[in-house]
Amino acid sequence: MEITVPPFDIKSIAPIILVTITGIVVLITDVFLKKLPKETLGYFSFLAVLITGVIISSQLGTTVYSFSNTFVVDDFSIFFNFIFLISTAIVILMSVTYLRQEGINYGEYYTLILFATVGMMLMAGGADLITIFLGLEIMSISLYVLAGFRRDRLDSNEASLKYFLLGAFSTCFLLYGIALLYGATGTTNINEIGTFITNNHAYSNPMIIMGTCLLIIGFGFKTASVPFHKWAPDVYQGAPTSVTAFMSAGPKAAAFAVFLRVFLVSLPGLETKWSVILWVMSVLTMTVGNVVAITQTNIKRMLAYSSIAHAGYVLMAIVTASSLGTASILFYLLVYVFMNLGAFAVIMVLGKKGKENLQIDDYSGLGYKHPVLAITMSIFMFSLAGIPPFAGFMGKFYIFSSAIKSGYIVLAIIGVINSVISVYYYLRVTVVMYMKQPVREFAPLSLSPFIILALIITIWGTIHLGIFPSRIIEFAQESVLLP
């Protein structure tokens, strides 16, 4: 018997290989050169992420299927790769000082961040459910460890344990869904599943419907959508702040990337069925996220609920299943990376070893003591609330208009009402900063050139995308999956 080796195209996964090798090099260097300051590993990882970004931009405009149709490079995956790399780069910049200050300055931190990025890139480019599953797990397992990175602290342990148990539990449902889809169609390739369903008119095959529901559970968990959101506040609160920032940006975008790809490529035939489920989930996610966020006193927990609410807005655009909806998701997720990472960077600047100042009341009087920092925080809060001229407004505007264009008027109205509710808790931070007297003395800020650079990048992104969004919007519209 002759074995033919299928052609493989290393070029298409060059960015992933580069990030993987960087991760391994960082890990080995950390072991063998013990004297090397850990910050160097951070700079090295940052540099590698930038180079990867350059390589990815050279792939623009092509659609290449490689490795027996299990991996695809198209504008959709490239747009998401940019989102991941931007968030990874900003998080590395933010982490360098934070890790030293918190006494968790270990080299493997950067390795885990890079491996999680590899997982996300595999997810965005996965054209086969095997690749998607593998990417999801590479990302999740790295994140389980990262959430518990502050090993000696019980809240970090607890976050890690909760995330791990619930994450592994939800993966089982995702896998059973994949198994049922495979059983019904005989293939794990997402394009072939789509073709099979259309050709055989298998729209009411119970196995496919059941599989779709289980996939929604699995992806709903990773995107922290209600009713699969209970892990998010605890994990966001307990994990080290830099890891929380990372989790709220990249992995969430990656989960939405597979959500979109699987549902728009494999299961467009069942749209009437899943759009109803996602409609309900979107309304629940927005409402629960925003209403519960109002009562929070811990800022990390408040941002966790706010991130749940933002997942609801994105789900709204998935419900429309239109190219405009997809483009608005791409734009929104990019915007969200900037404004959310910025807010977390400000939280980290205010934190000190042993006293992280995580209560919202700790921000009282910040506007008088550190005016620049207070303005920065206000920009991010206004942007998250969706107030023009900041990017958050443009993102929400595109999502709501895509919902209206597709005829989901009620959904858009609920979204706008929720957006109004969210203004209350975002502005409360601003109110506390400017209209309350300081409760106690502020400790000196933990500033370093790197976190300042991270803040400048995020402010620039938040303002620039709010005032001049057209270029990125065009790029997003070229990157959608639908014809």
Partner 1 sequence: MIPLTWYLILSGALFTIGATGVLIRRNALVILMCIELMLNAVNLAFVTFSRHHDSMDGQIFVFFIMTVAAAEAAVGLAIIVAVFKNKATVNVDKINLMKW
Interface ranges with partner 1 (CB under 8 A): 129-130, 133-134, 137, 141, 144-145, 148, 151-155, 157-162, 164-165, 168-169, 172, 175-176, 178-180, 182-183, 186-188, 233-234, 237-238, 292, 295, 301
Nearer to partner 1, 55 or 213 (CB): 213
Token output for 259: 């959500």
Question: DSSP of 451-468, one letter per residue?
Answer: HHHHHHHHHHHHHHHHHS
Using CA atoms, how far apart are residues 144 and 94, in angstroms rounded to an integer?
Answer: 20
Shortest gap between Cβ of 144 and partner 1 (angstroms)? 5
Nearer to partner 1, 62 or 295 (CB): 295
Using CA atoms, how far apart are residues 106 and 29, in angstroms rounded to an integer?
Answer: 12
Provide the 10 A C-beta neighbour count for residue 284: 17
Token output for 82: 């940019």
3-state secondary structure of 352: strand
Shortest gap between Cβ of 200 and partner 1 (angstroms)? 14
Nearer to partner 1, 213 or 482 (CB): 213
Nearer to partner 1, 51 or 130 (CB): 130
Nearer to partner 1, 150 or 370 (CB): 150
Nearer to partner 1, 18 or 178 (CB): 178
**Is 239:247 a contact under the CB 8 Å cutoff?**
yes
Nearer to partner 1, 217 or 414 (CB): 217
Shortest gap between Cβ of 210 and partner 1 (angstroms)? 11
Question: DSSP of 74-141, one letter per residue?
Answer: -HHHHHHHHHHHHHHHHHHHHHHHHHHHHT---THHHHHHHHHHHHHHHHHHB-BHHHHHHHHHHHHH
- List the one residue out of 184, 199, 27 whose CA is nearest residue 113: 27
Nearer to partner 1, 112 or 366 (CB): 112
**Is 242:348 a contact under the CB 8 Å cutoff?**
yes
Shortest gap between Cβ of 38 and partner 1 (angstroms)? 21
Shortest gap between Cβ of 393 and partner 1 (angstroms)? 30
Shortest gap between Cβ of 365 and partner 1 (angstroms)? 27
Shortest gap between Cβ of 157 and partner 1 (angstroms)? 5
Token output for 446: 């933990």
Shortest gap between Cβ of 69 and partner 1 (angstroms)? 12
CA dist 351 to 76, 82, 102, 246, Å?
37, 29, 10, 17
**Is 325:356 a contact under the CB 8 Å cutoff?**
no
Q: Compute the residue count for the chain.
A: 483
